[in-house]
Chains A and B, each alone.
Chain A
Amino acid sequence: MHVDMDAFFASVEQLRYPQYRGKPVIVGALPGRRGVVSAASYEARKYGVHSAMPISTAYSLCPKGIFLPVDGKTYREVSSKIFSTLQAFSPLVEIASIDEAYLDITGCPVVRDGLHNAGVAVKKAIYDAVLLTASVGIAPNKFLAKIASDTQKPDGLTVVPAGEELVFLKPLTVEKLFGVGKKTVQFIHDRGITTVGQLQKYERDQLVAMFGSLGDSLYFYSRGQDSSEVCDEAPPKSIGKETTFQEYLQDAEYLQAVLAQLSEDVGIRLRRNSMYASRVTLKIRFDSFETITRSISFQTPVNQDHILYSYARELLDAVPLHKKVRLIGITASNLSEVSRQLELFETDLINTQKLYFSLDKIRSRFGEKSITLGASVVKNKKNKKKQDFESI
């Protein structure tokens, strides 16, 4: 079962301020400032406003909208009430984000009266607890359940019984397949395929021949097959950190220092999770909002600040800084636990392992900034202006 709260942030605000009910509410940055839409109420969505849209665009689409700042604390409180409500229905609740969760309801008492009634019961329990509506999808696996919850929104309930996967997916467009990105969709469209039904006609071999390794996934997606389990605590898929600058800058040295600080933060979190990364992604957003990402993959997984920084720095050096930068971020991905494979050539990784063990000890005692990479020190003090926003 997939439970997805409807326009969560906006709905919470409408609940809190009854005068905003039935009106276009847009939560996010405030107009005139920089930032994006975090959530838009269904009334606002009628104007074409959607999340992740720059706030200025939202304002021009819907000037009469009610613009509210993000109140993370309140949303988290409501969210945790919802999740504890859900936990009454199943021992296995996977919290996917602040406003959505997966429940493994296999064999749980709630399914005694049929799947549809189970959905009704969960929706009612959420409404009783927080007075908000949710859209629910029930299906034999997580992948289908997520698509199902999305088909009737808001306040929807969609059940896909086992055996009806193909029929359910058939009329949907390929865009609806969760996990298939925009570029892939374009790629599929280029082959004259627009619906999942068309994909279903192909054999696995044919899809692999057409789309390479992606064909395999498409084969299973189009047939609604997914073997991922509902797990209470999913290990992180990536660890990243980014900083938005209050005053945009073009100063390469300053950016390098910030990047080193971000690398340290990511390194600390990787080691805390006993994870190693085989890929580093650099993200830069210019004042024009043009956002670029550059990635580098490597064979030997790493979790040490200076190595993460050297990869990120290599990526940064290759980016022409022709415009002012408003945001810089680094993400470590392709995470794995410790590699058991031994290396042929002596690397200095083993020696520095001890170093980082000590560094982390010092940091946990005296604070994360107590000992840092030389590269993360901002050399030109007058560049350090107002506090920049950091976000994970």
Chain B
Amino acid sequence: MHCICDRIALNEALQVLQSIIGTNSTLPILTNVLMEITETKELALTSTNLEVGIQFKLEAEIIEPGICTLPCKKMFEITRELIGDKVEIEISSDNIGIIKCANGVYRLMGMAGDEFPRLPRLSKINSIKINENTLKSLLKKTAYAISSDETRYVLNGVYFIISKGDIVVVATDGRRLAMVSKKEIADPSLEVDIIIPAKTVNELMRVLSGDDPIEMLFSETQVGFQRENMLMVSRLIEGKFPKYEQVIPKSSREKVNLDREEFLSLVRRVALMTNAKSSQLRFRFHDGCLTVTASNPEIGEAKDDMGIEYKGDDFSIAFNPVYMQDALKALDDEKVTLELSEPTLPGVIKVDDTFTYVIMPMKLK
């Protein structure tokens, strides 16, 4: 294999490719990137952690086709530090990569390419096209609520639903639930409900940018994301996502409109007096005022407030500040609505009818 390609483009691709590589891989070859040149004028680069795989196709000046794998992280580091616009990559017959750029020559130990697991082919596909920023926003507003508790594996991803033309994305860890929807965006006849693993969601959020469309490909057991020169294929989490609609309150006793940034700042300030052991904020709603307090025997106490439009009963409820902040941080809207009923019933943060965040309270101390 022998080719010459653009250094910056190669480096950018390698950065994405190496980000999915696991650290304690039992298959050493998975720390490598697969480099493939077939008869076309492209250099294909693939990495995978067996859960999610990514392939880039770069334009290259092909001198000789071939296939090989080279250590992905080292390739990324070398192409980052090299000086020069073009980089020449040649693979010797014993799988040593010779990388030349300007006056520099680097020899890198590789492995044969035939053992490298190929990205699965997506068969029996449905697909939709969606603006990258739109998809990113849907994921960003839910991904933080994904559970990291491996014993509840169906919650280790986002639940992605397409139904009647709308897209709904849901994530929960059993204590809070984030749901976001985008109306009338897909083909009304398309029905999809899948759980996309957290790792894939995080990688995807990193890659997505701009207003160009990306194509989502749905097969039985995989989901793919295809754009100009990149294809990401991920396995899906098998299992049944819990019936999330049931935990979203249908009605509420009180509705409070809040300035998002002001509210977030208040929560963040008072939360300074909490720690992992004792993280509870008490929210007291009373005439025209929201008072937030924290009390921690190891750190100290805090009390702060903000003016709100509230005329209901004097009402106190406790929440974990992290759960409260997560949603407020992920939003970019100016106003949010907080809906409450009882100190032991969930609170709901809403933005129009597109974003719903259900958060379970804590028992008051």
Contacts and interface: CB of A to CB of B under 8 A. Distances in A.
Contacts of B344: 342
Contacts of A344: 172, 174-177, 247, 346, 358, 360
Contacts, number: 49
Given A296-B150, A311-B151, A345 B318 contact: no
A343 B360 contact: yes
A297 interface: yes
Contacts of A340: 280, 318, 362-363, 365
B152 interface: yes
B151 A298 contact: yes
A300 B152 CA distance: 10
A391 interface: no
B149 interface: yes
A341 B365 contact: no
Contacts of A299: 147-149, 152, 173-175
A340 to B, nearest CB: 4
A224 B344 CA distance: 44
Contacts of A345: 174, 242, 247
A345 B149 CA distance: 15
A172 B66 CA distance: 54
B361 interface: yes
Contacts of B133: none
Interface residues of B, number: 26
Contact of A297 (B149, B175, B176, B280): B149
B67 to A, nearest CB: 33
B95 interface: no
Contacts of B151: 296, 298, 311
A122 B181 CA distance: 70
B337 interface: no
Interface string B174-193: 11110000000000000000
Contact of A341 (B150, B175, B242): B175
Interface in A334-360: 336, 340-345
B316 to A, nearest CB: 14
Contacts of A296: 150-151
B15 interface: no
A343 B358 CA distance: 11
B268 to A, nearest CB: 20
A342 B363 contact: yes
Contacts of A298: 149-152
B177 to A, nearest CB: 6
Nearest to A300: B174
A341 B360 contact: yes
Nearest to B276: A336
Contacts of B346: 344
Contacts of B172: 344
B341 interface: no
Contacts of A311: 151
B198 to A, nearest CB: 14
B163 interface: no
Contact of B150 (A297, A300, A342): A297
B314 to A, nearest CB: 21
Interface in B285-337: 318, 320
A125 B149 CA distance: 52
A189 to B, nearest CB: 18
A317 to B, nearest CB: 14
B235 to A, nearest CB: 20
Interface string B142-158: 00000111111000000
Contacts of A336: 277
B239 to A, nearest CB: 14
Contacts of A342: 175, 344, 360-363
A306 to B, nearest CB: 14
Contacts of A343: 174-175, 360
B320 A341 contact: yes
Nearest to A342: B360
Contacts of B363: 340, 342
B201 to A, nearest CB: 19
Interface string A88-123: 000000000000000000000000000000000000
A340 B365 CA distance: 8
A307 to B, nearest CB: 10
A49 B28 CA distance: 38
A335 to B, nearest CB: 11
A18 to B, nearest CB: 51
A280 to B, nearest CB: 10
Given A299-B147, A299-B152, A311-B151, A341 B247 contact: no
Interface in A257-309: 296-300
Nearest to A344: B247
A296 B175 CA distance: 20
A298 B175 CA distance: 13
Contacts of B147: 299
Nearest to B323: A341
Nearest to B345: A342
Contacts of B360: 341-344
Interface in B348-365: 358, 360-363, 365
A186 to B, nearest CB: 15
A282 B346 CA distance: 36
Given A299-B152, A342-B175, 16 more contacts: A298-B151, A299-B147, A299-B148, A299-B175, A311-B151, A340-B280, A340-B363, A340-B365, A342-B344, A342-B362, A343-B174, A344-B172, A344-B177, A344-B247, A345-B242, A345-B247
Nearest 8 interchain pairs by C-beta: A299-B149, A340-B362, A340-B363, A342-B360, A298-B151, A344-B247, A341-B362, A298-B149
9 contacts: A297-B150, A298-B151, A299-B148, A299-B149, A299-B175, A300-B149, A340-B318, A340-B363, A343-B360
